[in-house]
Structure 1
Amino acid sequence: MAESRVAYRYAKALIELAQEKNVLEQVHTDMQFFVQTIDNNRPLYLMLQSPIVPHAKKYNVMRDLFQSRLHPITFSIFEIITRKNREEVLYGVAKAFHELYNKHKNIHVAHVTTTFPLDDSLRAQFRQMAGETLGKKIELEEKIDPSLIGGFVLRVGDKQIDQSIKSKLQKLEQEFKS
């Protein structure tokens, strides 16, 4: 819990600085790139979390990987956090930054669960369906769950549309038991 509060504070400071310097979109892109890099590279994540790896080594790795690819303001938060020996919160900062960015841009997250990866056409249909539900911009988070058997589950805020075969079979089972 304390780590998430620390990450949120760093993210809030970064978003305010990015807005002040008119580089919010660039910093957001950088933070998304960082999250994607960490998500696709478990050893990098583990290295940042490790209390055994010296902080100087962590900084050198971060500098070599990201300094030339990121806006100076984005990289400066990495430097500050590393200098304070808090590398374990970097990933949380990037995630919190994205949440604050969405809040600032009035973008809501819709979660869709299907049994297969979505193509662009289906993605657009789910965004439209979720957008009509809320009347706002939507960012779609996708999850694959083979246990649904077929269909989908769309969750937007506190509303859920469950059109999965699994839930229909469960309802049918309950009807037969009654």
Structure 2
Amino acid sequence: MIAHRYGSALFELALEKSERQDLKKELVELKQVLVNEPNMMLLLTSKQITKADKQKFIKILGDSASETLKNLLDMLFDYDRIVDLDVIIDEYIRLNDEYEKTVKATVTTAIPLDSDQKSKLANSFARIVGANKVLLEEKVDSDIIGGVILRSNNYIYDGSLKLRFAQIKRMLLK
């Protein structure tokens, strides 16, 4: 709820100011810092650190950031919502992907795909789901024996041999 409200407001503001892509880049970089340095959120949320010291740290974070990102950090800090920063970033990215008609999907295969296979699969999946772009995350799982399993937010396609064998087994047992 909080993430959606703040993420939506941030996305609308970025659209109005024509800085949607630049802000996304900044937010992705900040998210990476949060992932690589988990102690940073501990510092910002710890009760042992004074509010003044936390504010100094927020200022350091915002020194090389855009005005919009600085304002977001200040606002989240002032309203004690800094702990929600990572989910707000995720929501902004989700809204941006929706705006750009970009779909993230996971493809599971028994063996690694080459770049041509990935490209063809992404293009086919984009046509099926009505996306402009599909970003594939590849997983290899020898248990599926062969074929492919595609998963995105609203879509699952299981074309694995493991599923086919299970279906044949059910039909034979009837």
Q: TM-score, normalised by structure 1?
A: 0.75
Residues 25-174 of structure 1 aligned to structure 2 (within 5 Å): 25-45=21-41, 50=45, 52=47, 54=49, 55-65=51-61, 67-68=63-64, 70-105=65-100, 107-115=101-109, 120-142=115-137, 144=139, 146=141, 147-156=143-152, 158-174=154-170
2:94 is paired with a residue whose SS is: helix
**Kept in 2: contact 1:114–1:150 (CA 8 A):** no
Maintained 8 Å contact 1:110/1:154? no
Structure 1 consecutive aligned stretches of length 4 or more whose deviation exceeds 6 Å: none
Aligned sequence identity (%)? 22
TM-score by length of 2: 0.76
Structure 2, unaligned runs of 5 or more = none
Higher radius of gyration, 1 or 2: 2
Unaligned runs of 5+ in 1: none
What is the RMSD of the two structures over their aligned residues, measured on CA atoms? Answer: 3.0
Do the aligned residues in 2 keep the contact of 1:15 with 1:101 (CA within 8 Å)?
yes
**Number of aligned residue pairs:** 171
Paired residue for 2:17, among 13, 18, 21?
21
